[in-house]
Structure 1
Amino acid sequence: MGRLAGKVALITGAARGLGEADARTFAREGARVVLTDVDEEAGQAVAADIGGSAWFRHHDVRDEQQWIALMAEIKEREGRLDILVNNAGVVMPSTPETIEADALRFILDVSINGTIWGCKHAIPLMREGGSGSIINLSSITAVQGHARSAAYTAAKGAVDAYSRAVAVYCAQLGLPIRCNSLLPDRIDTPMVRGMAAAVQSFDPALADNAGSKPENVYGEVSDVANLALFLASDESKFINGQSFVIDNTASITKGAVPARIVG
């Protein structure tokens, strides 16, 4: 039997990148997986490729009403929810002096509000089922800072902090629901590659800080998905309210860390 046999997982932002990797990993380990994203064509394709243990719904995480409808459908179709991965996020170049209102609202709304609504509406369904693991995607920027991704840094810092609030809330009420956050550094995904190029154009003089130099090291999506799998499984039943940095010492080491290079 797989490590997630009998469990139902919901993963947002699952059409590509880390969300897709989580969905494929969870399905291989026996979970039934609900994938959501605003990119319907790509999301449907991933779900179809995974097969009968997965289904997809178009879902804008900023909209609380869509969360309510989605949870109702999951309850009707699956009868329970055991795992929520709040993975959806967006990043745009900005500095503390150049943040623009529309971009700021969009970034915060997706990462912060999307995570808050997800936790709010997952907890009751997990409570009914008798167990739950919530995994929120923060970022290494939450602890290290990123001068050219200022709004994203603010959003991911909030996600990390909110994860502890959810964990403490559930623990103090005696609910069998855990909440932890993941803080990856550069992982080889379309979003990270796109961000590196965007920052290079935005401020070439400080491109090194964005990881756009070809010799810089990227992690693999499996580096994050395998940790998410552990946190989603019963193997981590006593791990709650923790922040997991995934960066091969990059946040505590000066310069690039010698390791495998992707691409």
Structure 2
Amino acid sequence: MTTYETGGRVAGRTVIVTGAARGIGAACARRLVAEGARVVVADLLVEEGKQVVAELGDAALFVELDVTSESAWQDAVRQAEEIFGPVTGLVNNAGVVHVDPIEELSESDYRKVIDVNQVGVFLGMKAVIGSMKRAGTGSIVNISSIGGIIAFPRILGYVASKWAVRGMTKAAAQEFGPHGVRVNSVHPGVVSSEMTADSDRSHGMVDHQPLGREADADEIAALVLFLLSDESSFSTGSEFVADGGYTTA
């Protein structure tokens, strides 16, 4: 974990980060608080999420959130507004992957991935846009993947959902732009995290990319911070790739 000095790049903003109990989400929460934001740490991992909040102090709030539930999203936004004020940032980071060849992939397993990775992003954007409109500003960062730019076998649901997030980002950017709200997608390659810790395939992917290593979650968080800050004020509807050059091949 990296230690940062407070720089105020997102000072005074209220940001909801999903899947924030660990990995990229936790790294985003830490970086955003260090830069002056008030962060809602949203996750189904209650104990781990509360540990992140305990570390971050009064600038953070834990909310147990099932991203596939519209009512849960509405409650999360309500809590954020009551405690911190209007929501002006959202990081749709929660995600799952299921590995199986297509002929063995069950409908229920496919739908679970779509529900979390794609429907969850839709519900998140729908839930926060009213708050952002009232504030007159906002930035949404949807975490996709290089699996939303190229394809990989045996993870059909994941690839489908991440391509969908890429398109949804562009459609939302067109709708929300007139209200001062920007929407961009981030496409990480292999990131050192709980999701990839036991994956020989993920580790092997980096062997032939220009930067021959996995990313650290803090490196993705730095890109998310940029997109939530005014430094990216003319960027919307765009893909931001952080993959060590994997997709250049």
Specify the TM-score bucket, using the shorter chain as the normaliser. Answer: over 0.9
Q: Which runs of 4+ in 1 moved over 2 A?
A: 94-98, 210-217
Residue 234 of structure 1: which of 204, 226, 230 is its match?
230
Residue 43 (str. 1) matches residue 49 (str. 2): yes
Name the counterpart of 1:87: 93
Q: Which residue of 1 aligns with 2:218?
A: 222
Give 1:59 shift. 0.6
Q: Which runs of 5+ in 2 are unaligned?
A: 1-6
Counterpart secondary structure, 2:184: strand
Specify whether residues 144 and 213 from structure 1 end up closer, same or farther in structure 2 by C-alpha distance, changes over 3 A only: closer
Give deviations 1:14-67, integer Å, cap 9, x for gaps.
000000000000000000111010000000001111111111011100001101
- 1:168 equivalent to 2:171? Answer no
The 8 Å contact of residues 152 and 159 in structure 2, kept in 1 or not, is answered as: yes
The DSSP-based 3-state class of the residue aligned with 1:192 is: coil
Q: Report deviation, 1:143.
A: 1.3
User: Is 1:101 the counterpart of 2:125 in the alignment?
Assistant: no
Tell me the secondary structure at the aligned position of residue 178 of structure 1: strand
Of residues 58, 67, 76, the one that matches 2:73 is 67
C-alpha distance in 1, partners of 2:234/2:206?
40
CA positional deviation for 1:96: 2.8
The one-letter code of the counterpart of 1:84 is: L
Q: Find the counterpart in structure 1 of residue 184 from structure 2.
A: 180
What TM-score do you get using the length of structure 2 for normalisation?
A: 0.92
Q: How many percent of aligned residue pairs carry the same amino acid?
A: 36
The answer for unaligned runs of 5 or more in structure 1 is: 198-206, 254-263
For the residue of structure 1 that corresponds to 2:149, the secondary structure is helix
Q: Distance in 2 between matches of 1:137 and 1:232?
A: 13
Match of 1:202 in 2: none
1:123-145 per-residue CA deviation (whole Å, 9 max, x = no partner) reads 10011111100000100011121
- CA apart distance, 1:212: 4.5
Residue 137 (structure 1) aligned to one of 138, 143, 167:
143
Structure 1-normalised TM-score?
Answer: 0.87
- Check whether the contact 2:190–2:203 (CA below 8 A) recurs between aligned residues: yes
RMSD of equivalent CA atoms: 1.5
Find the partner of 1:189 among 193, 201, 210: 193
Tell me if structure 2 keeps the 8 A contact 1:94–1:151.
no
User: Structure 1 residue 211 and structure 2 residue 238: aligned?
Assistant: no
CA shift for structure 1 position 213? 7.6
Partner of 2:23: 17
Residue type of the alignment partner of 2:215: G
Q: Provide the C-alpha distance between the structure 2 equivalents of 1:213 and 1:178, rounded to a whole number of angstroms.
A: 32
**Partner SS for 2:20:** coil
Q: Is the 8 A contact 1:126 1:132 kept in 2?
A: yes
CA distance in 2, matches of 1:146, 1:95: 11
2:176 touches 2:182 (CA, 8 Å); kept in 1? yes
Paired residues, what number?
239
Is 1:99–1:151's contact at 8 Å kept on the other side of the alignment? Answer: no
- For residues 241-260 of structure 1, what are the structure 2 equivalents within 5 Å? 241-253=237-249
Q: Which amino acid aligns with 2:53?
A: A
